[in-house]
Structure 1
Amino acid sequence: MTANKLENKGFQLMGISLPMFLILTAVVLFATYMGVLPKGMIGAFPLMMIIGAILNELGNRLPIVKDFLGGGAIIVIFGSAALVTYGVLPESSKEIMKNFMKGEGFLSFYIAALITGSILGMNRKLLISASVRYLPVILGGVIVSLGLTGLVGMVMGYGAKEAIFYVAIPIMGGGMGAGAVPLSQIFGQALNTDPTQMMSKMVPALALGNAMAIVVAGLLDRVGKKKVSLTGNGKLMKSQNAIKEEEQKTMKLDYKLMGIGILLSTTFFVWGKILAKFIPIHAYALMIISVAVVKVLGIIPEKYEKGAFQWFRFVMTNFTPALLVGIGVAYTDLNAVINSLSVIYVILVFTTVLGATIGSGFVGNLLGFYPIEASITGGLCMANMGGTGDVAVLSACNRMELMPFAQISSRIGGAFMLILATSLLSIFL
């Protein structure tokens, strides 16, 4: 078989032609079941990337899953968890992936790239403007969401604190990679509990919350068609002085800049660890604050910011499915997830999404935003699963032009939830 036949223009996975991908998969799986898969990243990476690519493609093609349940991300997490829970993959491969995620720090490496690159890659003026006028909209959604969920949890016998910490906060936390994953670490450290248990409680809430956010977005679009005074049809602010994101100067992909991005992201992570020794806040939250301050003050040259952004994009594009496999294997107890689902749990998830919608719409209206657009961006884009959830929510309500504000909700709003969760844990637990 020639190289040209292997590399055809048909169906592809990870940008690789199907024949070539099947050959790579056969080699990796053969090593896995022979028990000769190397330990460490050299063995974990190919296995996690291949499993992630297959399950991600499956999830993005299943009708109900791709439209209402977060697509590939959910299938990768639960699918990989099922593979190890039911013994489809050998125990040795489970240990390799688990150690890569926890012992060798792949999880922290990914989070560092995500936080540093996403914040440094934002437009500075938009970041500053958003903190003044847009963040109160997010805050309104968070307060009503947490308060309503806590109240319903108390009335239904689930417990107010349990409903807030294990349902509302994970849903409003900014997705999986930047939300539930670091939250599970924060909760695990504060409660002296294995993060795996925390993750197993949070993942069902994320999936259901994402599905409900998409459905509510479609309903808000219909409401806007009947009550035209409530919507700007994609325009967020009622006045003509809407915040506009300046055109980002494009910069060619530069391998040296990506190297700088690696150094910046890992150094910011280390800096967060240093601050955590003196300030009683989790290192992730301190890292986020530090990156945001540096961005606002313009301390780092734009070229280096671009490097951090390019590295973040590389990591997110190539490593996210692999990371989700690691989350499924190392942090998701499938039996605990199944046992956590109940009618009360579903109701609490709904009240979280409903509270976010009402709170952000109300505050947004007071500050000169259209209520429906404020609810969509400040509420539903906080309650969905990060970037992929933003696309799904905005597609459902035909308002893709709101993506910059949706991204603020996912990035800055999600970062705020990490800080809020750290503070609430120190107060109530």
Structure 2
Amino acid sequence: MITNDAMTVQDQRTSKIILAIAAITILLATFAGKMPSGMIGALGIMVITGFILNYIGDRTPIINQFFGGGAIVVIFGSAYLFHSSIFPASAEQNVTTFMKSGGFLAFYVASLVTGSIFGMDTQTLKKAALKYIPVILGSAFFACLFTGLVGMLVSKSFYDSVMLIALPIMGGGMGAGAVPLVEIMSGKTGMNAETLMSQMVPALAIGNAIAIVMAGLLNKLGQVAPNLTGNGQLIRGQKAIEEEDQSTAPLNVTTLGVGALLAVTMYFVGTLLSSVIDMHTYALMILSIALIKVSGIMPTALEQAAHSWYKFVVGNLTPALLVGIGVAYTDLNQILAALSPMYFLLVLITVLGAVFGAGLIGWMMGFYPIEAAITGGLCMANMGGTGDVAVLAASKRMELMPFAQISSRIGGAFMLILATMVVQAIA
């Protein structure tokens, strides 16, 4: 007679065999040039590649302890596999289209932002909102100060170091940061736009890579010095309240469906508002969700549904998304081409300044310094939404996505305003 325990072991073995067959089928179809177009083909190869690379990264010594483990291996591993022609060009194109035109990144971020805010304790959200802006400002100030001073030491002007390296890195990514920054500088100074972009883009790419690696190091620091971290909770002394608030959410098919609908709806709200208010969709979505949460008009059951959907997405789609980031947004050749010692030093100093400023001001505002450094520092220094996902995955703190998005969107907008003021004052 077979016991229940024996049945469980047998079922697990059967499940692993079936999943292995599924992976082999998808890989064979991809390499044979029979990969289906659209979402089904892209998501299939992203899930399989992400699972394999994440498994390897989480079990590779040193990398899994100090450099973010699976997250960083998935990003840079997939960038190499797809860009070096190991995978067919059609697979690279399909994944890139799915990420950029297919809206997978927006869907993922909307799910995380909606669920994480609705899953927060209301009092925690109120306290954090009032104190978080100084963290962003502190991060930007120290990043620019450190970069400018070190630039002067290596025979580069303070102005060039800040405007061509620090501001692009801290500006919220490519589309919301570097592109408008180039327009601001070329329009006011007469400098060539292509030249400016060629100097800024490598800084963004290298800064993003350093931010991801540093996220893993900060996670390790939190394990060594637990008094510096809330393990994903931003405000000191609020951990127990938030965990109690989120522990009662039921998990079933209906709950997940409602949570997904809420995430999509809130993204629509941000889109509609951005058509009449000159702000990024994510920023308006965050503000809308926060207002709804603070007002208390959303039933608790729906808030819990959104949080359950958030946990489902994080647990099942994160490795796949990181593959998309590696394929569609990570250019290894561009990173390697810009790796002169002086250039790398200035980029590194920018990221370190952001971490130092955010951690210091965050501690003064009553936040855990590691969480403040990750959200207010690294999520200012990475490449916007894709960088936020990668940094939070490497630091194992996906629940901090709302604050990461505030840094990328509101903080990035502040950097553009600052750049405009500086250029107008000097030009």
The TM-score, its normalising length taken from structure 2, stands at 0.75
Aligned to 1:416, which of 388, 391, 407?
407
Paired amino acid for 1:118: S
SS of 2:50's equivalent in the other structure is: helix
**Equivalent in the alignment of 2:189:** none
Contact 2:69 2:394 in 1 (8 A): no
* Mapped pair 1:41 → 2:31: no
- The counterpart of 1:428, out of the listed 402, 419, 425, is 419
- Contact kept in structure 1, 2:114 and 2:306, CA below 8 Å: yes
Give, in whole Å, the separation in 1 of the partners of 2:274 and 2:325: 25
Offset at residue 342 of structure 1 (A): 3.1
Offset, 1:387 = 3.5
1:224-243 matches, within 5 Å, as: 242-243=237-238
The question of whether the paired residues in 2 share the 8 Å contact of 1:126 and 1:245 is answered with no
* CA deviation map 1:186-225 (0-9, x unaligned): 237646899x998875343233234446657878999x8x
| Offset of residue 309 of structure 1 | 1.2
More helix by share: 2
Provide the secondary structure at the position in 1 that maps to 2:34. coil
Question: Aligned-pair distance for 1:336?
Answer: 0.8
Q: How many angstroms apart in 2 are the aligned matches of 1:282 and 1:234?
A: 30
CA distance in 1, matches of 2:56, 2:348: 27
Q: For residue 409 of structure 2, what is the amino acid of its counterpart?
A: L
Q: Which residue of 2 aligns with 1:377?
A: 371
* Alignment correspondent of 1:351: 349
- Partner of residue 145, structure 1: 143
Using the TM superposition, give the Cα deviation of residue 44 of structure 1 relative to its aligned residue in structure 2, in angstroms: 1.3
Contact 1:353–1:383 (CA under 8 A) maintained in structure 2:
yes
Q: Distance in 2 between matches of 1:49 and 1:33?
A: 16
Q: Distance in 2 between matches of 1:330 and 1:262?
A: 25
Structure 2 partner of 1:98: 96
Whether the 8 Å CA contact 2:375–2:407 is kept in 1: the answer is no
Q: Determine if contact 2:230/2:368 at 8 Å carries over to the other structure.
A: no
Residue 178 of structure 1 corresponds to none
Q: Is the 8 A contact 2:68 2:216 kept in 1?
A: no
Partner of 1:177: none
Report the equivalent of 1:167: 169
Q: Per-residue deviation at 1:293?
A: 1.8
Work out which of the residue numbers 180, 187, 190 in structure 1 matches 2:177. Answer: 187
Distance 1:260 1:417, change over 3 A: same
How far does residue 414 in structure 1 lie from its aligned partner after superposition? Answer: 4.2
Q: Distance in 2 between matches of 1:244 and 1:55?
A: 32
C-alpha separation in 2, matches of 1:199 and 1:407: 29
Question: Which AA in structure 2 matches 1:295?
Answer: K
Residues 103-143 of structure 1 show CA distances to partners (whole Å, capped at 9, x for unaligned) of 22112111111111111111111111223456645643443
CA distance 1:68–1:218, shift in 2 (3 Å): closer
Instruction: Label 1:266 to 1:306 Cα distance change in 2 as closer, same or farther (>3 A).
Output: same
Unpaired runs of at least 5, structure 1: 11-15, 171-182, 225-230, 392-402
Partner Cα separation in structure 2 for residue 102 and residue 233 of structure 1 = 37
Change (3 A) 1:146 1:281: farther
Rounded Cα–Cα distance in structure 1 between residues aligned with 2:110 and 2:219? 31
Residue 326 of structure 1 corresponds to 324
| Residues 107 and 243 (structure 1), Cα distance of their counterparts in 2 relative to 1, 3 Å cut | closer
The residue number in structure 2 matching 1:110 is: 108
Q: Which amino acid aligns with 1:109?
A: F
Q: 1:350 to 1:374 in 2, by over 3 A?
A: farther
* C-alpha spacing 1:340/1:67, structure 2 compared with 1 (3 Å): farther
State the aligned residue count: 379
Deviation at 1:27, TM superposition (A): 0.7
Equivalences for residues 22-421 of structure 1 within 5 A: 22-133=20-131, 136-137=134-135, 139-153=137-151, 156=154, 157=156, 159-168=161-170, 183-187=173-177, 190=180, 201-212=203-214, 242-243=237-238, 245-246=240-241, 247-248=244-245, 249-356=247-354, 358-360=356-358, 362-363=360-361, 374-380=368-374, 382-383=376-377, 386-391=391-396, 411-421=402-412
The 1:345/1:9 distance shift into structure 2, 3 A limit, reads farther
Displacement of 1:38: 1.1
Could you tell me how far 1:375 is from its partner in structure 2? 3.4
Which residue number in structure 1 is paired with residue 4 of structure 2? none
User: Contact 1:69–1:207 at 8 Å: present in 2 too?
Assistant: no
CA RMSD of aligned residues (A): 3.8
Comparing 350-359 and 414-423, the one that deviates more: 350-359
Q: Aligned residue for 2:384?
A: none
* CA positional deviation for 1:321: 0.9
Q: TM-score, structure 1 length as denominator?
A: 0.75
Q: Which amino acid aligns with 2:123?
A: K
> Which segments of 5 or more consecutive residues in structure 2 lack a partner in the other structure?
1-6, 184-192, 379-389, 421-427
Q: Distance in 2 between matches of 1:220 and 1:49?
A: 30
Q: 1:355 to 1:40 in 2, by over 3 A?
A: same
Aligned partners of 1:126 and 1:244 also within 8 Å: no
Assess, with a 3 A threshold, how the Cα gap between structure 1 residues 221 and 259 changes in structure 2: closer, same or farther: closer
